[in-house]
Amino acid sequence: MNFVPNMRVRRISASFRKRTPMRRDLDLVRSILKTCADASGPVDAHAFTDDAHPFELVAYHVRIMQEAGLVEASLLREAGGSVVHATVGPLTWAGNDFLDAVRSESIWSKTKKTIMTTIGSASFEIVKAVAI
């Protein structure tokens, strides 16, 4: 009997490749907000990619920032649902409020230090409240 490769098995095995952990990175959120606030129009999400922030992670953050009402965004997905292109901006009222609270580097550092030394991690609302 001849062996015929099963395409389904290939697709499944491809899904086991190493993926970037999808954890919220508030430094990245702040960076995206600052850049979009200073831009004259929407910003290509690829502008935020680097060794520490692959496109998949940046696109995830753009999506959750849009869901949280911080930014307007446009996400282009392939048939499988993965985001292949994204633009972000402008900021919403809530996005501007959060950025106003954390724009200062000294306030941002103090906010992160306070959270890490007291509770370790915090919701977005708590981070904003500590910054204010």
Q: Kindly state whether residue 16 falls inside one of the protein's structural domains.
A: no
Domain holding 30, by residue range, is 22-131
CA-nearest of 84, 8, 77 to 46 is 84
Is 6 within the bounds of a domain?
A: no
**Structural domain contains residue 7:** no
* 85 found inside a domain: yes
Q: In this structure, what CATH number is given to the domain that contains residue 89? A: 1.10.10.10
The answer on pLDDT for 18 being more than 60 is: no
Residue 87, SS3 per DSSP: strand
Backbone dihedral region for residue 9 (phi beyond 0: left; psi -120 to 50: alpha; all else: beta):
alpha
Q: Dump pLDDT digits (tens) for 25-72.
A: 999 999 999 999 999 999 999 999 999 999 999 999 999 999 999 999
pLDDT digits (tens, 9 = 90+) for 75-96: 999 998 889 999 999 999 999 9
Q: From CA 44, how far away is CA 55, in angstroms rounded?
A: 11
3-state class (DSSP) for residue 72:
strand
| 49 and 83 Cβ atoms separated by less than 8 Å | no
- In the chain, the number of structural domains is 1
Helix (H) or strand (E) holding 124: helix 124-131
pLDDT tens digit string along 113-132? 998 888 878 888 888 888 88
Whether the predicted pLDDT of 5 surpasses 70: no
